């Protein structure tokens, strides 16, 4: 055995490699530019919002002003409650359904599964008119459960967990049953612990999706008490009161900050979660 | 467990999820279809069965045709470019370029930001006079142009935003697939003296086909359901130049409150999505190389 490292085929080297690295970096800078632009504008006084001089003084005034101009504290609370409610319900419902599909050969299973997968194509995002009618019939317009309900039974979550549960060895299942565990105990003690990485992946995808979701919350809410951040930001930014761009940029950064910070801290988990969630 | 117990348990476990799916997916989809054959109840007139009237008025509705055309242009503008960019990004990040973790982060960041928030930033970017785009262009002596305010350029502007938002997301799937390609293939190709481009064209690209299909289907679906940036940046204007189908549904349903016409429009939108899903199975599956 030679200890010398094999040259990696097609690794970048020489002038061509340098050129490609430069191109990759250029694209990366281009991709971050809008965000950097917003950061610049938010942290400088309004007169520097489009003037890039090194001597521009830094300020937090824009954030203070934005915070007081709209009930952002309430919006943060609403989004937090919304995202938590959706995730908690999704985890329970999808786990139960996925367990049924993975381990119970009940009559009509194939048909039921096809009906579930239908949601991957017919998403709640598109059925806004009818779902609004259902919500007003249920008296849930302008409430946080009203925003959450259409997304709680997630076909994607059921599909993802079903795949995971199916890969759990039968022997573990049987062993637990021999010890006298009922079906729900088996689920809780065998399947759920083994699926932890998938739960994490699904949770990250779900939280970022619903933190960012806009159209349905916009339609179904009309008061400060129910509005999530995205809708609150839009209401704030579209009022024609001559609000400075720098204040809007500050508000924009503020609403994205929790996700952005979470992403920067847990970059690897985020990327891997999105990967795991995407591979079928 | 006995067979009947299996049946009972299976259905009981499924029941909560199935009930909600029925209430918020199956029922509204059916109701949309049925409603599209009725008239919208007005103050004194109850809803009546009108057959194909909603569809007939759709045929003569120029805004509908424009929305459909815009949406096709939007799809054609965003999908190929964002997929190509995603592929290039993934190959760069997969190769050992200097500081690839930072580069990967830069590409992926738009994905985690709310569309509504980034649309606000881009709105400022495109603003006449102050906007960054105008400032940069004026350095080169270009004439002032209202990018979002002119029908000729508005759609292109929102397409750019969609590409920027999506490419990094699709990159992730390519990256995952690239990492699963066995390194022995690269060694073999290098022994045969294949150039890097040949290796990409003859080995990597064919092996990535299932990923491309997956990404393609997602990209098409997104092109028909994402309208957050339209609401923020243009509200369908100027002169309906950026009205996409779902935006038109939103406008008809929640601004003009014509719910049955909105239902008919939704049926068209759903048929398009169904066609995409079907073509995935019928057309593309055969031509794809699976290991």
pLDDT in tens, A184-240: 888 898 899 988 888 888 888 888 889 989 999 999 998 888 899 999 888 888 776
When mean pLDDT is compared across A40-49, A77-86, A101-110, B247-256, the lowest value belongs to: A40-49
CA distance, residue A276 to nearest chain B CA (Å): 9
Residue A80 or A160, more confident: A80
Longest dimension (CA), chain A: 74
Chain B CB within 8 Å of residue A101 CB: yes
Percent of chain A with pLDDT over 90: 24
Most confident range (mean pLDDT) of A263-272, B69-78, B96-105, B273-282 is: B69-78
Q: How confident is the model at residue A7 (pLDDT cuts 50, 70, 90)?
A: low
Indicate whether B287 pLDDT > 60: no
* Across A34-60, average pLDDT: 78
Indicate whether B283 pLDDT > 80: no
Give the pLDDT score at A243: 65
The neighbouring-strand residues paired with B49 are B38
Which of residues 249 through 268 in chain A touch B, CB cutoff 8 A?
Answer: 249, 252-253, 255-256, 259-260, 263-264, 267
Extract the tokens encoding A130. 């009818």
Cis preceding linkage at B238, omega within 30: yes
Indicate whether B284 pLDDT > 90: no
User: In three state form, how does the secondary structure of chain B look?
Assistant: CCHHHHHHHHHHHHHHHHHHHHHHHHHHHHHHHHHCCECCCCCCCCCCECCCHHHHHHHCCHHHHHHHHHHHHHHHHHHHHHHHHHHHHHHHHHCCCCCHHHHHHHHHHHHHCCHHHHHHHHHHHHCCCCCHHHHHHHHCCCCCCCCCCCHHHHHHHHHHHHHHHHHHHHHHHHHHHHHHCCHHHHHHHHHCCCCHHHHHHHHHHHHCHHHHHHHHHHHHHHHHHCCHHHHHHCCCCCCCCCCCHHHHHHHHHHCCCCHHHHHHHHHHHHHHHHHHHHHHHHHHHHHCCCC
Q: How confident is the model at residue B78 (pLDDT cuts 50, 70, 90)?
A: very high
The neighbouring-strand residues paired with B38 are B49
Domain ranges across chain B:
1-35, 49-287
Gap between the Cα atoms of A29 and B92, Å rounded: 14
Domain ranges across chain A:
15-59, 66-278
Give the pLDDT score at A78: 93
CA distance, residue A84 to nearest chain B CA (Å): 17
* Across B135-149, average pLDDT: 77
Give the pLDDT score at A4: 46
pLDDT in tens, A67-100: 888 888 899 999 999 999 999 999 999 999 999 9
Chain B CB within 8 Å of residue A38 CB: yes
Interface ipTM = 0.84
Chain B residue with the nearest C-alpha to that of A117: B21
Write down the CATH number for the domain with range B49-287.
1.10.3720.10
Which of residues 121 through 180 in chain A touch B, CB cutoff 8 A?
Answer: 121-134, 149-150, 152-153, 155, 158
Chain A residue with the nearest C-alpha to that of B193: A9
Would you say B206 and B97 are in contact if contact means Cβ atoms under 8 Å apart? no
Which of residues 192 through 211 in chain A touch B, CB cutoff 8 A?
Answer: 208, 211
Indicate whether B281 pLDDT > 80: no
Q: How confident is the model at residue B279 (pLDDT cuts 50, 70, 90)?
A: confident
Question: In Å, how far are A84, A211, B127, B161, B222 from A66, measured between CA atoms?
Answer: 25, 20, 21, 25, 32
Chain B CB within 8 Å of residue A28 CB: yes
Q: How confident is the model at residue B87 (pLDDT cuts 50, 70, 90)?
A: very high
Write down the CATH number for the domain with range A66-278.
1.10.3720.10
Of A107, A155, A87, A91, nearest to B22 by C-alpha is A155
Percent of chain A with pLDDT over 70: 90
Of B108, B213, B95, nearest to B164 by C-alpha is B108
End-to-end CA distance of chain B: 39
Question: In Å, how far are A71, A255, B127, B146 from B123, measured between CA atoms?
Answer: 23, 17, 6, 11
Of B71, B37, B70, B67, nearest to B54 by C-alpha is B37
What are the chain B neighbours of A121 within 8 Å (beta carbons)? 221, 273-274, 277
* Across B59-86, average pLDDT: 92
Residue A276 gets which letter from DSSP?
H
Best of B86, B110, B115, B117 to disrupt the A interface (most A CBs within 10 Å) is B117
Residues listed for chain A: 280
């Amino acid at each position: 055995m030679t200890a010398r490292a094999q040259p990696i085929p097609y690794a970048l080297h020489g002038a061509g490699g340098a050129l490609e690295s430069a191109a990759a970096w250029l694209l990366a800078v281009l991709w971050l530019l809008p965000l950097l632009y917003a950061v610049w504008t938010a942290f400088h006084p309004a007169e520097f919002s489009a003037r890039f001089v090194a001597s521009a003084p830094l300020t937090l005034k824009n954030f203070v002003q934005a915070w007081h101009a709209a009930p952002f504290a309430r919006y943060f609370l609403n989004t937090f409650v919304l995202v938590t409610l959706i995730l908690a319900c999704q985890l329970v419902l999808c786990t139960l359904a996925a367990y049924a599909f993975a381990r119970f050969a009940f009559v009509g299973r194939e048909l039921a599964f096809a009906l579930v997968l239908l949601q991957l194509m017919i998403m709640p995002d598109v059925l806004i008119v009818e779902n609004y009618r259902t919500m007003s019939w249920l008296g849930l317009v302008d409430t946080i459960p009203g925003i959450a309900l259409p997304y709680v039974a997630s076909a994607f979550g059921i599909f993802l967990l079903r795949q995971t549960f199916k890969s759990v060895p039968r022997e573990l299942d049987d062993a637990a049953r021999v010890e006298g565990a009922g079906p729900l105990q088996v689920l809780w003690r065998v399947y759920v612990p083994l699926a932890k990485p998938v739960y994490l992946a699904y949770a990250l995808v779900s939280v970022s999706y619903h933190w960012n979701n806009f159209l349905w919350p916009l339609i179904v809410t009309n008061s400060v008490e129910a509005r999530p951040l995205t809708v609150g930001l839009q209401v704030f930014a579209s009022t024609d009161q001559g609000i400075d761009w720098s204040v809007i940029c500050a508000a924009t950064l503020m609403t994205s900050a929790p996700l952005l910070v979470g992403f920067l801290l847990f970059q690897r988990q985020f990327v891997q979660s999105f990967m795991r969630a995407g591979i079928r | 467990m006995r067979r009947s117990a299996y049946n009972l348990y299976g259905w009981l476990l499924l029941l909560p999820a199935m009930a909600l799916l029925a209430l918020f997916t199956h029922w509204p989809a059916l109701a949309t279809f049925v409603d599209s054959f009725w008239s919208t109840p007005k103050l004194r007139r109850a809803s009546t069965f009108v057959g194909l009237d909603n569809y007939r008025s759709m045929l003569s509705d120029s805004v509908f045709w424009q929305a459909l055309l815009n949406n096709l242009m939007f799809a054609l503008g965003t999908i190929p470019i964002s997929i190509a960019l995603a592929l290039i990004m993934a190959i760069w990040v997969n190769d050992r370029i200097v500081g690839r973790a930072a580069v990967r982060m830069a590409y992926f960041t738009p994905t985690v930001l709310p569309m509504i928030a980034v649309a606000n930033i881009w709105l400022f970017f495109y603003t006449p006079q102050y906007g960054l785009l105008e400032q940069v262009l004026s350095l080169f002596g270009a004439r002032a142009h209202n990018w979002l305010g002119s029908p000729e350029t508005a759609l292109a502007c929102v397409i750019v935003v969609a590409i920027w938002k999506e490419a990094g997301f699709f990159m992730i799937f390519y990256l995952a697939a690239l990492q699963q390609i066995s390194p022995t293939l690269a060694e073999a190709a290098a022994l045969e003296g294949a150039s890097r481009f040949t290796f990409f064209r003859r080995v990597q690209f064919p092996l990535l086909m299932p990923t491309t299909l997956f990404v393609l289907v997602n990209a098409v679906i997104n092109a028909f359901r994402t309208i957050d940036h339209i609401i923020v940046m243009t509200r369908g204007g100027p002169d309906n130049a950026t009205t996409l189908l779902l935006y038109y549904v939103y406008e008809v349903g929640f601004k003009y409150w014509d719910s049955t016409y909105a239902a008919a429009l939704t049926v068209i939108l759903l048929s398009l999505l169904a066609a995409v899903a079907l073509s995935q199975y019928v057309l593309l599956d055969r031509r794809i190389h699976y290991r």
